[in-house]
Every structure is written in C-alpha cells, then in structure tokens.
Amino acid sequence: MGGMVKRIALVPLILAVCLAQEGAKKGVDRSALDPTCKPCQDFWRYANGGWQDKNPIPAQFPAWGPASVLAEETRTHLREILEASKDTKSGQMYGACMDTAAIDAAGVKPLEPHLARVAAISSAKELSAGIVAAQNVASVGPFSVQSLGDLKNSKEIILWVDNGGLSLPERDYYFKDDARSKQIREEFLKHAARLLALLGDPADRAAVEAQTILAFETKLADATKTAVQRRDLAAIYNKVDFAGLTAMAPAFDWKLLFTELHLSTSLPINVTEPEFLKRVNQLMTAEPLDEWKMWLRWRLLTGSAGKLAKPFFDENFHFRSTVLTGVTEQQPRWRTCVTVVDAALGEELGQLYVKKYFSPQAKKRANDLVENLKATLGEQIQGSEWLAADTKRNAVLKLNSFMSKVGYPDKWRDYSGLKVNPKSHFENAVAAAQFARSYQLAKIGRPVDRTEWIMSPPTLNAYYNPLMNEIVFPAGILQPPFFDGEGDDAANYGAVGAVIGHEMGHGFDDQGSKFDAEGNMKNWWTPADLKSFGERATCVSDQFDAIDIGGGVHHKGKLVVGEAMGDLNGLKVAYRAYHRSLKGKEAPVIDGFTGDQRFFLAYARVWGTQTRPETVQLQINTDPHPVSKYRANATLQNMPEFRKAFECQAVDAMARPAEKLCTLW
C-alpha cells in the first residue's frame, strides 16, 4: 500500500447490496483485546494486546499480525494448488524450486559461465559488454532499465534508466555513523567475504575483496538520491533522447545495450538521476578495470545466491534476513517456492486461485463497496470549505475518472513465451526475469493497456497508480480480517473500507495530487489551494517527525507523509461512508460496543502487527509506510470521532490537541 505506484483504490449505491445487514454475524473478539490498557492511552495495544500476547512473532518472520495469518492461509492455498497442478508452467517451476537435491548437487555451476565471462574482460569496451550480460543473468549492474509511463504524457510508455548497484538497503547505510549502521557495514564485509570464499577465494583475499567492493559501492552511493529525495517526482523526471543519455555516460556502450534489448535509439528516455549516471561514467574512466570486474563478479554472486546451493542460500539468508531484519529461522522451502512462482507466473497461478477462493458474488460485493466510498469522497470534496470552485471541479473530475479494479483481471496474461525447465531452478529464475523484462520493454511505443494489473490476484495488498488514475484491490486482500461479506458492516468499513479509502486518498496525497484526471503530472490547483494543501501535508509530516517510536528513533516525516495522508484520508472517508450506509438509523450495540467503537477496533486490528527491532530500523530508513502501531494510533489521534466514541479526555495520549489536528478536506 505505497510507493510511486501506491499499493492498495464511484454514484451512490444501496449498501445492503454489498454487505450483510448490521450485525448479521460475527461481533468483537474480546480475547484479542488488552483490557488492562486504556483505549484512550494506547488504542493499538488495547485493540490487539490480547492477540499479540498469545501470538508472538514466529522465528521465521520479521513481523507478525492478523494480516500475517491471512497471508499464510493464502500461501497454503497456493501451495495446494501448485502441488495439484504439476503439468502447468506454475507447477513445473514450483517443482524445480522444491528440488533442493538437484540445486545442491549443481552447486555454483549454473553461475560459472557468467563468472567466467566477467573474468575474461580485458578492456573498457568488454566491460560494457560484461555489464549488459550481467543484466541478462541477474538484473544487476550500476543502473537498471525498465518501461514506465511518461509522467507528463500518460498515454505514452517510455524507457526509464534508473540508478542501481548498491548491496545495502539504501544510500545512507554507506555513510551514517550510528552504531546500527556501522554494525551493518561490518556484517556486510563478513557476509561478502564468506560468499566469495564459497566461490573458492582464499579467506584473506576474500576479506580484501569485500573491502574493495564496499568502497566501490560507497562511491556509487555518494551520487545516489536518498529515499526522501526520490519522492520529489519533478526531480526524477529528466526526459532526454539517446544522444542526451549517451552524453551523461559516454564511457558506457549504450548502443550495445539497446541492441541487446531490441530497443530503438529513437525512443524517448527518462533518466531518474543524471548525476548518478555521470558518477558511473567517472568510475568507468577512473577506476581500475580489476575493481570493476571484482564488483561485477560480486553483483552476479549476490544477485544469484538465493537461487544456488544451500551454502550460498544460507549465507544470503543470514545477511538479508538475520542481520537486516532479525529473523533467525528460515521458512520451509515450500513457502519460498510459492513466492517464486507467484512473482514469475502470478496470473497463471492467480487464475487457478480465484476459481477456487474468490467468487463472482464476492467481487460484486467488493465493487459495490468501492463505489459507495467513491461517492462519499465526492461529497467530502464538494463540502470542503477551503477549496476554490475550480479546484473542487478538477478534484471531482479526477475522482470520477478513477478506474477501479477488483479481484482479478478481466483479461489474463499469456505466458506461452516463457520456457520452464522442470529440472533447473536457476535456469527458470533467469528465464523468468528475462521474460518479464522483455514483456515490459515491448510496451514502449505501443498503446497503453489499461486492463493490465501490477499485482497478482492472490496478493494481500492493493495500490493506486497515478499514471493510470486507477485503484486496484486483488482478491487476496478481500478476505477477513479485511473484508467479510457475512460480517458486521462497522467492521468491514473500518477494515477494508479504510484500505479502499486509503488508495483513493493516494490520488490526493503529496504525490498523487500532482497528477490530473488523465494521469499526467500537471498542476490542477489554484495557487492559494496548493499552498493550503501543502500546509495540510506538512501537518502530517511534522506529526510523524515528532513521534518517538523508542530509543529516540523517529519516522522521517517527509518519507512517510504520503502513506500517512492515505491512512488519514482513508479512515475519514470510510467513517463517513459507514454512517452514510446507516441512512440515519442508529447502529446496534454488539458485544457491548457501539457501531463507531467496532469501526475503530476493526481499523486498529488491521494494523495489529508486531515488528522486530531490526526490521523497524530498516523500515524507518527505507519504507514510505509508517510502523504499524502508528498507522493506527497517529491516524486515530486526528479523528475527533474516535475521541468521542471512546470518551477520551483532552489530557489523554490518544487525544491530539485541537490546534494540531491534521485533516485534508
């Protein structure tokens, strides 16, 4: 539920069509609550403490909550489907992934031809060829190429050249002097040395190579934008032609890359970080060839380690999971392989999944709920007292232009061009990556396919895509605890209703608000409204900057502001939609809780996830989503309706002062 294409979202409809009547089934699970915690002090703990105490984070996971349980149930269903579908591409890919005996017997042999090519590089020209070849094998190199929409012309797909080449999670990990960052760099050096030793390098030489690799990547990181800087869409939109691209890094053979990828040099190109490409060019002319070869060999190795024999897989797990996220125990192999197939053949697997687990009736009910929330948001915009008439008109136009997709695509993707080898997991991984890239790059210059999905149907997530002006809800998230067609309306609105509202809200957050109804990056605000909107975004950013999540650690407000605005806008529109559905009637009291109380409890339960300290640190530095506890509490602190529902007083922690309340419409 976030990113440039934001994960997780018009004409009023009668709500009774989409959900069971209030209280038809399933009330509040009191065992999930912590009655020793006052709801007005820490609502997240009050709503989830009982469940959390009985469900600590399993050793195999970085975090655990009610949504995690749903994710595991879905993964189990996918496993059953794959084991019963051995004649499909999905089943064959799964079988090859599960054949650890064959993977272990192969050792590092699948990678050896590609490593040998790097070893044979003897000139700058051959270095370009080596980088191109590495892109084909493991999608590694100092930059990446992909197809995305033109930010200022959503009807056109263009080539994007983005930065790459870093092994640590984010550029600041190479420079920060806090104890955790230093520890991660030290662990990275040990990790790189151990992986290189598995290739046969003597231990002392491997340790020196690891130091060289870290120093090399630090030079790349120095010219890389931070996660916060990359949220400035205008700054990462730098459209050039082929000559302009070549001028940024003339030392690299761009013609060779374009030829290899079957791309025309007449294509429009967007370079996200021109200064980074200039740094790559500088390094290609100034750094010794042997250091480039050492780094490229490393990138092939680290990009492939998770697909190789157990010693490589285990070492990759140790650094990527144990060091970075605190996970100490590997998941069963079948879970890994389900994820592999879903990533490579998501719609073939998804087609089998929805036939069994997502009915047309469920799709219709969810569609009706989306329409009801859209109508409610329209009412909010129209009733806004601070928006000028022109801005309101443009906002409503954008809202009414939302394309909503629910459950699964109307047209399934064709995977006939992907060749699956039932005997080789490594070959399948390479083939799947190449197939996916060819599929994406083939879109350039063709009409935009507005029926396409970015996520697979079983995915427990959702998204807003500003270039398509679309909100998308896969079948995976349209299940309890998010959505229950036979459940309490208050709970459905507080859970999936807030998710739907969240994605709709992304169309009007600090990034989505820069795109018009057609998906073009274009200002549609009056100057005064734009200034006022910026102040509202700053309110949210400042709120998260100020939250101490423990040990003096704070969110980066400018990193999480978009997702936090999505949460706040989503919850507000879901609350109004819930009351709209009551049609003036009083909601019944169920299990001792009013309708409003059940609404807010359902919302907090969605974010009832406990997270390991190491994972929290990683999330704070790299993820635009706030930590789950504060997606609940910080959002609710801005809801006077919540304060009223639980009779919170001005002195309570969950009651944000009136002058500091953040709101949008």
Q: Give average pLDDT by consecutive 10-residue segment, the chain, 665 residues.
A: 35 25 60 97 98 97 96 97 96 98 97 96 94 84 94 96 96 96 98 98 98 98 96 96 98 96 96 98 96 97 96 98 98 97 97 93 88 94 95 96 96 96 97 95 93 96 96 94 86 95 95 96 96 96 95 94 96 96 93 96 96 96 96 98 97 95 92
Closest C-alpha to 598, from 585, 588, 610, 609: 588
Between CA 23 and CA 346 the distance in angstroms is 36
Cα 229 to Cα 251: distance, rounded to the nearest angstrom: 27
At 142, which helix (H) or strand (E)?
none
Whose CA is closest to 299, among 47, 114, 488?
114
Q: What local confidence, expressed as pLDDT, does residue 136 receive?
A: 78
Helix (H, G, I), strand (E, B) or coil at 81: helix
Tracing tokens 């990462």 back to the chain, one arrives at 236
Q: Give per-residue burial for 533-562: e unless 16+ CB within 10 Å, then b.
A: beebbbbbbebbeebebeeeeebbbbbbbb
What do you get for the CA distance between the two ends of the chain, in Å? 21
Q: 83-114 b/e with 16+ CB inside 10 Å = b?
A: eebeebbbbbbbbbbbbeeebeebebebbeeb
90 to 68, 78, 87, 424, 442: CA distances (angstroms): 24, 10, 8, 14, 23
CA-derived radius of gyration, the chain = 25
What type of residue is 226?
A: T
- pLDDT value, residue 26: 63
What is residue 534's predicted lDDT score, i.e. its pLDDT? 95
Contact call for residues 562 and 6 (beta carbons, < 8 A)? yes
Q: Are 437 and 139 in contact (CB under 8 A)?
A: yes
SS (H, E, C) 3-21: CCCEECCCCCCCHHHCCCC
Task: Give pLDDT, residue 22.
Answer: 35
Structure tokens at 273: 């970080």
Element (H, E) at 199: none
Where would I find the H helices in 607-664? 613-622, 628-636, 640-645
* Domain map (residue ranges) of the chain: 6-14+49-79+342-441+457-660, 108-307
- Evaluate whether 578 touches 572 at the Cβ level (below 8 Å): no
- Show the tokens assigned to 645: 């529902």
Question: Token pair of 236, please?
Answer: 């990462």
Dist CA 233 CA 625 (whole Å): 18
The Cα–Cα gap between 496 and 478 comes to 7
Question: What beta strand segments (E) does 235-366 contain?
Answer: 239-240, 269-271
Q: Which CATH architecture has domain 108-307?
A: Orthogonal Bundle (1.10)
- Which is the CATH superfamily of the domain at 6-14+49-79+342-441+457-660? Collagenase (Catalytic Domain) (3.40.390.10)
Q: At what angle do helices 628-636 and 595-606 cross, to 10 degrees?
A: 150
Task: Give the tokens for residue 217.
Answer: 């990547």
Q: How far apart are CA 327 and CA 62, in angstroms?
A: 6
Q: How far is CA 346 from the centre of its chain?
A: 16
Phi and psi at residue 369, in whole multiples of 5°?
-65, -40
Q: Which whole-number Å values give the CA distances from 196 to 308, 423, 424, in the listed order?
A: 14, 26, 23
Q: Which residue has the tokens 């272990």?
A: 104
What HEC string does 299-331 produce? HHHHHHHHHCCHHHHHHHHHHHHHHHHCCCCCC
Q: How far is CA 27 from CA 85, 140, 484, 656, in A?
A: 38, 50, 12, 29
- Longest Cα–Cα distance of the chain, Å, equals 79
Name residue 495's amino acid.
A
Q: Which pair of structure tokens corresponds to residue 457?
A: 């149907």
CA-angle at 444, arms to 439 and 450, nearest 5°: 75
- Residue 629's Cβ-count burial label (10 Å; 0-12, 13-18, 19+) is buried
Which residues are within 8 A (CB) of 24 and not within 5 positions of it... i.e. 6 or more apart? Answer: 486, 487, 488
- CA–CA distance, 489 with 633 (Å, rounded to integer): 22
Q: For the full predicted model, state whether its pTM sits above 0.75.
A: yes
Do the Cβ atoms of 392 and 432 come closer than 8 Å?
no
